[in-house]
Structure 1
Amino acid sequence: MAVTDEAILKIKEMITRGDLGPGDRLPPEKELAERLGLSRSSMREAVKALEVIRVLDVRRGDGTYVTSLEPRLLLEAISFVVDLHDDDSVLELFAVRRILEPEASARAAARATPELIAALTVTIDSVDGTTSVEGLVDHDLDFHRTIADAAGNRYLASLIDSLSSSTVRARIWRGLTQDNAVERTLSEHRGIVAALDRGDVELARALTLVHVSGVETWLREWTEPTAP
């Protein structure tokens, strides 16, 4: 194991053991390096790496602190990687959404409250035939984000938000080229909300699968050559 990797692992163990918690300040570099039996240079590199992935927060002139370790913060590194995708990988992103989002809807259906249904209904009612394609995509992002949050799993919600935000270009493209994109999206959203309102877990899962798969299928038809 590389020395820097060993340093990262030891700091991680301090956090998982509870020696360091969210918001705690790390001991000075020299003291920490001696405690863990590592060189100061390897400790410095480990801290830099953990700062990049938002585990540590280096405050110049103040010290190094453990971040809040909130899921959205820790998953920013994944979001960064996803943002670097090229057009050929968008289909793969949709495939992952197709796996995750139906489960989020199913979980949300089991936990649905009148407040959730009201919030989703307001979101749908804010869109009509005069809404721009960009406005429709904003609505779509908000709709799926609300359901993912309602699923009650912060890591799942963060992953879905990262993936969903990274497919915006494809969804705008669909809205510009496919007839009745607004009406179709709203109809599918209303069906999902109705399933959530009834607490129908399996129906919510199935309707979300069809909804996400519809965009994926459309994109595949546009990007893959037609067989002779």
Structure 2
Amino acid sequence: MAVTDEAILKIKEMIIAGELAPGDRLPPEKELSERLGLSRSSLREAVKALEVIRVLDVRRGDGTYVTSLEPRLLLEAMSFVVDLHDDQSVLEIFAVRRILEPAASSLAAQNADEQALERLRETIDGVDHAADVESLVEHDLEFHRGIADAAGNTYLASLIDSLSSHTVRARIWRGITQQDAVGRTLAEHHAILDAIESGDADLAQALTVVHVSGVEQWLRSAL
């Protein structure tokens, strides 16, 4: 194991063991390096790596702190990686979305409160049928994000958000090349929300499968 990897692992173990909690400040570099039996240079490299993936927050002139470790924060690194996808690998992203988003819709049908349902309804009602493709894409992202939040599972919501925001280009392609993208998308969103509001988890799940698969199938034929 590389020395830097060892340093990362040891800091991770301190967090898991509760020696460092979210928001805690790390001991001074000299003290921590001696405690972990590592060189200060190796410790610095480990801190840099953990800062990139948002585990640590380096505050110049103040110190290094453990972040909140919230799922959305930690999954930002995955968002960056997914951003680098090529046209073929985006199909794999859609395949993952086809698994996760129907599950989120099912959970939302079981767990969504009135406030969450109202936000989703406002999201749909706020779209102009004459909206351009970019506006439609933004609505689509907000709608799916709202369902994921309503599901009541923070990790699931964060995973979906990190994946769905990187399919924007495919959605734009579809909107440009297919007619009535706005009307079709809104009709599908209305149907999904109606199922969620009625508490029909199976129907909400099935409608979301169809909705995500529609874009996936179009993209597959385009590629």
TM over 0.5: yes
What residue in structure 1 maps to residue 130 of structure 2?
A: 130
Report if aligned partners of 2:130, 2:182 keep a CA contact under 8 Å in 1.
no
How far the C-alpha of 1:135 sits from its partner, in A, is 1.1
AA matched with 2:149: D
- CA distance in 2 between counterparts of 1:130 and 1:49 reads 46
Instruction: Give the structure 2 partner of residue 200 of structure 1.
Output: 200
Output the amino acid matched with 1:188: E
How far apart are residue 165 of structure 1 and its match?
0.8
1:116 deviation in Å?
Answer: 2.1
Shift of 1:203: 0.9
1:17-50 CA-to-partner distances (Å, cap 9, x unmatched) read: 1111111110111111111122222111111111
Separation in structure 2 between the aligned mates of residue 123 and residue 60 of structure 1, nearest angstrom: 40
Alignment-derived partner of residue 174 in structure 2: 174
Deviations 1:197-223 (Å, cap 9, x if unpaired)?
111111111110110001000111111
Q: Which one-letter code corresponds to 1:13 in the other structure?
A: E
Deviation at 1:64, TM superposition (A): 0.9
Q: Which residue of 2 aligns with 1:82?
A: 82
The answer as to 2:149 corresponding to 1:149 is yes
Q: What CA distance in whole angstroms lies between the structure 1 residues aligned with 2:188 and 2:98?
A: 15
**Ranges in structure 2 where 5+ consecutive residues have no aligned partner:** none
Query: What one-letter code is carried by the residue in structure 2 that aligns with 1:96?
Result: V
SS at match of 1:166: helix
The AA in structure 2 aligned to 1:177 is T
Task: Tell me the CA shift for residue 77 of structure 1.
Answer: 0.5
Are 1:44 and 2:44 an aligned pair? yes
Which stretch shows the higher mean deviation, 119-128 or 68-77?
119-128
Paired residue type of 1:172: I
Q: Which residue of 2 aligns with 1:32?
A: 32
Q: Distance in 2 between matches of 1:163 and 1:176?
A: 22
Partner of 2:66: 66
- Does residue 94 of the first structure (1) align with residue 110 of the second (2)? no
Quote the Cα distance in structure 2 between the aligned partners of 1:62 and 1:115.
40
Question: SS state of the match for residue 50, structure 2?
Answer: helix
Tell me whether 20-29 or 128-137 shows the greater mean CA deviation: 128-137
Do the aligned partners of 2:104 and 2:151 also contact (CA within 8 Å) in 1?
yes
| 2:189 matched residue in structure 1 | 189
| TM-score of the pair, normalised by structure 2 | 0.96
The alpha-carbon deviation at position 128 of structure 1 amounts to 3.3
Aligned CA-pair RMSD: 1.1
User: Which amino acid is 2:177 matched to?
Assistant: T
The aligned counterpart of 1:226 is none
Q: Secondary structure at the match of 1:58?
A: strand
The 3-state SS of whatever aligns with 2:88 is helix
Aligned residues: 223
Letter in structure 2 aligned against 1:173: W
Offset of 1:129 from its aligned partner?
2.4
List per-residue Cα deviations over 1:110-151 (Å, max 9, x = no partner): 102222222211111112321111111111111000001111
Measured after TM superposition, the shift of residue 85 of structure 1 is 1.1
